[in-house]
Structure 1
Amino acid sequence: MVNLFIDVNSASKAFGEWVEHFKHTPSLSAEEVQAKIDQQENVLIVDARRFDEYHTMNIPGSISVPGAELVLRTPHLVKDKNTTIIVNCAGRTRSIIGTQSLVNAQIGHQVYALRNGTIGWTLANQTLEHGQKRRYEDYVDTSKIDEIAIQRAKSVADQAGVKYISIDELEQLQVDTGRTTYLFDVRSEDEYISGHLPNSRWVAGGQLVQETDHYAATRGARIVLIDNMLVRAYMTASWLAQMNWDVFVLVGDFQADLTETGAWRPTTAKIENEIQYIDVHQLYASLEDSFIIDVSALAAYKKGHIPTAHWALKADLARIIQTTDLSSYKRIVLTCRSSLLAQYGVKEIEEFTQLPIKVLKGGTLAWQAIGFGLDQNSSLLSEEIDRYKRPYEGTDNSREAMQAYLDWEFGLVDQLKKDATHGFYVI
């Protein structure tokens, strides 16, 4: 029987609940953790989310250690052998997976998940910190190879049935067009930028487990993980294998193959129509008679956009052009953060207007880089529906929404028990 799971990252979140249900992952309530802080007990609180989430709000005194880094970094952050480790996230999944990772790797400390994360902390009327910058990189030597951590992580990966692959075998998989192969680099982004395998995509290992549907859309595909220190790949792979993915870790001497530098760039569809560009100086000189539409994410637009620019969903461009009085303008200018998305909007509107359609070369980032100012006054031409805001993001969520989100997670195990297709197991 197939069950319908409604929300984003549903498979990953359901898996997290499955793990806790069968492994009885140890946890503490927000009140119990606050008591330990108040009593100045020997505890280390590590935040398994992305750093930007941690920076927005965090448990007092905690350090940012994204999920896949926990087994590699946490043993070097504890005060002594008696330190109790507490893992938190915003809700439940990354706390559960992070805590169980440390338990599975047998690191020799008491480990607990903060039950219900920052949501539970907020619902308990306890105070969060904001704007903190404590990161594991500030406290440990990130270049040092940890052989003990490698052994621990390898043992977990073996138990989960993870497979291993050489660089030559990887090349054979990549030329196999009969099946999708994803190649993910699960180190830190800085490590990826300094040198990575061509055609690999960076994603923090913990986020890959948390948001598998975002990164690996083809169910049943092969997933190959890269980490020259191995620990992060082993631990990430152990969870993906238990989620029923066909997962491999790249092993062997491949350091010399990490030849590509820079941030990951997605492969984009070919733009068939001819694009006319306008540079930032030209646009600056013609702001008054340019109808500017910014198709960036709304959150990016609100942080700062070109003066007079309106925000719109790319999907609404044709409707907007057909229903807007453009008689006082000499051109239409499309922009976004980088100009990439804006380029794809030209074809959608060119048949509905006689005005020249320009794309701002380099987008809003180029405007900002030259020193021109940004505006934060919003002019919205579309509904604010470009992104589903999850109830654990940001600091302005209602208590009802946060509790409803937790209640949804609590019900996922019962849903899984009615579903014969998920293939989850736990070691």
Structure 2
Amino acid sequence: MTVVAFPFVSPADVRATLLARAEIALLDVREEDPFAQSHPLWAANLPFSKLELDAWGRLPRRDVKVVVFDDGEGLAAPAATRLRALGYTDVSLLDGGLAGWRDAGGELFRDVNVPSKSFGELVEEKRHTPSLSAEEVQGLLDRKADVVVLDARRFEEYQTMGIPGGVSVPGAELVLRVRDLAPDPATQVIVNCAGRTRSIIGTQSLVNAGIPNPVAALRNGTIGWTLAGQQLAHGQARRFSDVPAGDPSAARAAADEVARRAGVKIATPAQVDAWVAEPGRTTYRFDVRTPEEYARGHRPGFRGAPGGQLVQETDVHAPVRGARIVLTDDDGVRARMSASWLAQMGWDVAVLDGATTGPLESGPDAAPRPPEPQVRVVIPATLADWLASGDTAVIDVTASANHVARHIPGAWWSPRSALAQALKTIPPASRYVLTCGSSLLARFAAQDLAALTDRPVWVLDGGNAAWFAAGLPQESGDARLASPRIDRYRRPYEGTDNATEAMQAYLDWEFGLVAQLGRDGTHFFEVI
């Protein structure tokens, strides 16, 4: 790949753009783990490894202002070149990269989804969101008190570990369904997540919506529960949808009032169409219902983004700070409640009623992507023969967790961004075969690998899925990692084997976020 020259933008100019509330996509193109160690508040992680898979979906306007940086890894210029090839016309490099931001006095943040997490801490500080300690909640459960525990995370997270007896109610569903789950106004409602943010936002949503029940966040979530020496449950499967839905009119009225107070606009289809066509302005469109509802039928042009996760991961779904966001649902509650939080986070946000009116599309959410490059492919059976001959090296560019769980025997793992370094570790071979889960990412990585070697480069047709489906041998483990596992940051609040020191350090970090917001000064958060 020929790397072209790009203009540089100073940290001061980036900051001025943020303060002017103009559109900008500040992109950290490193892998997720180094990104999570240090980055500016409004930096969005768009790894070089996955640019072709994610850019068009996350940056829908091709002439948006894009500023790319790394921390000296040599990824920024190639990523900018790749973005130019994908049709982006206003691409610059951050002068000095991450070090330049630091040297200019810019505030640096750790972890992921930092805008939402820091906003959650500000909400608690401003609104004194009610909470109960792990010991207090355990006492209620032990006494068999009139209490219901609602887990505001994704169902998969809830299944991995949760409060015993809890019910999965992802954040956007809380106001819509709490009256069904706790019909007696005397029932104590507890909202939990793994750490703090989703339980704070979920609890405050119920408070803002004026539900009659006493409500409290589980202070510090499952981390707090574990640090208190209490046992979590695993494999629970109770969902909010297991309880029959009642009359949502009270929830609709409450959500409408909360949205009004937050300054959320109500849009017509014609207004949304005009916004999408408006030059020089990015308009994101999200359907905040559950993935199952979205797949059954949704408005064309709307991406699926369940409301609770959208509020938690706004930087993932909408990396263009200063953009407009339009939300829709079919109940008048979920979009309004989600929009109320986005408005408080400084977004220009509107609601379009009626996700299931007009012409609809079906199927799961799928990002738009460029055409797959033409590559030489090899079928699993032929690859098996090549491997038996001992003259072929397989490089797996899938997620490292997937590779460790199972992979083709003898395959090496490397993120696409580290292929040059990987070749220094992998023994030389007569040919290289790239693979991943489906072969999609491998097809884009093939052009990078071909530029690094004079040996022929092939792609496994159908990827690892095709190999496993053919019943060919497989193995697991991390014996052949050609790169450190930098593709994903291990959250201190996920999984079941985290060190207590890491969990406590994570809480201490969250407690300091409000002070960091003050030092940074670019957030425009306004808590109602």
TM range (shorter): over 0.9
Q: How many angstroms does 1:258 deviate by? A: 5.4
> Which of residues 164, 167, 173 is equivalent to 1:69?
173
2:514: which partner in 1?
Answer: 413
Query: Given residue 173 of structure 1, which amino acid in structure 2 is its aligned partner?
Result: W
**Cα distance change of structure 1 residues 287 and 177 upon mapping to structure 2, 3 Å threshold:** farther
**Cα distance change of structure 1 residues 387 and 254 upon mapping to structure 2, 3 Å threshold:** closer
Give per-residue Cα distances to partners, 1:105-143, cap 9 Å, x unaligned. 1111000000000000011000001121111122234xx
CA RMSD of aligned residues (A): 2.0
Q: Which moved more, 1:22-31 or 1:331-340?
A: 331-340
Query: Given residue 201 of structure 2, which amino acid in structure 1 is its aligned partner?
Result: I
Tell me how many residue pairs correspond in the alignment. 421
Alignment of 1:35 with 2:139, yes or no, is yes
Cα separation, 1, equivalents of 2:173 and 2:259:
15
Q: Flag structure 2 segments of 5+ consecutive residues without an equivalent.
A: 1-14, 16-105
Structural mapping, 1:229-244, within 5 Å: 229-244=331-346
Cα separation, 1, equivalents of 2:468 and 2:394:
16
Q: Which moved more, 1:211-220 or 1:33-42?
A: 211-220
1:280: which partner in 2?
Answer: 380
1:355: which partner in 2?
Answer: 455
Q: How many angstroms does 1:371 deviate by? A: 4.5
Q: How many angstroms does 1:233 deviate by? A: 0.5
**Cα distance change of structure 1 residues 340 and 107 upon mapping to structure 2, 3 Å threshold:** same
Alignment of 1:149 with 2:239, yes or no, is no
Cα separation, 1, equivalents of 2:349 and 2:181:
30
**Cα distance change of structure 1 residues 236 and 395 upon mapping to structure 2, 3 Å threshold:** same
1:134: which partner in 2?
Answer: 238
> Which of residues 114, 120, 137 is equivalent to 1:10?
114
**Cα distance change of structure 1 residues 350 and 17 upon mapping to structure 2, 3 Å threshold:** same
Query: Given residue 62 of structure 1, which amino acid in structure 2 is its aligned partner?
Result: G
Cα separation, 2, equivalents of 1:177 and 1:285:
55
Q: How many angstroms does 1:31 deviate by? A: 0.3
Alignment of 1:183 with 2:183, yes or no, is no
Give per-residue Cα distances to partners, 1:153-204, cap 9 Å, x unaligned. 1111111000111222211111223111111111101111111222322122
**Cα distance change of structure 1 residues 368 and 260 upon mapping to structure 2, 3 Å threshold:** farther
SS at match of 1:344: helix
| 1:185/1:202 contact within 8 Å kept | yes
Q: Flag structure 1 segments of 5+ consecutive residues without an equivalent.
A: none
Structural mapping, 1:285-296, within 5 Å: 285-288=385-388, 289=390, 290-296=392-398
Cα separation, 2, equivalents of 1:164 and 1:362:
45
| 1:196/1:257 contact within 8 Å kept | no
Alignment of 1:392 with 2:493, yes or no, is yes
Cα separation, 2, equivalents of 1:35 and 1:145:
32
Q: How many angstroms does 1:362 deviate by? A: 2.4
Query: Given residue 526 of structure 2, which amino acid in structure 1 is its aligned partner?
Result: Y
1:113: which partner in 2?
Answer: 217
**Cα distance change of structure 1 residues 128 and 403 upon mapping to structure 2, 3 Å threshold:** same
SS at match of 2:451: helix
TM-score, with length taken from structure 2: 0.76
| 2:298/2:355 contact within 8 Å kept | no
| 1:73/1:140 contact within 8 Å kept | no
**Cα distance change of structure 1 residues 60 and 283 upon mapping to structure 2, 3 Å threshold:** same
Q: How many angstroms does 1:322 deviate by? A: 5.4
TM-score, with length taken from structure 1: 0.93
Q: Which moved more, 1:278-287 or 1:333-342?
A: 278-287
Cα separation, 1, equivalents of 2:521 and 2:420:
44
Cα separation, 2, equivalents of 1:369 and 1:84:
49
> Which of residues 245, 266, 273 is equivalent to 1:164?
266
Cα separation, 2, equivalents of 1:351 and 1:376:
30
Q: How many angstroms does 1:3 deviate by? A: 4.0
Structural mapping, 1:67-106, within 5 Å: 67-78=171-182, 80-106=184-210
| 1:167/1:254 contact within 8 Å kept | no
Identity %, equivalent residues: 53
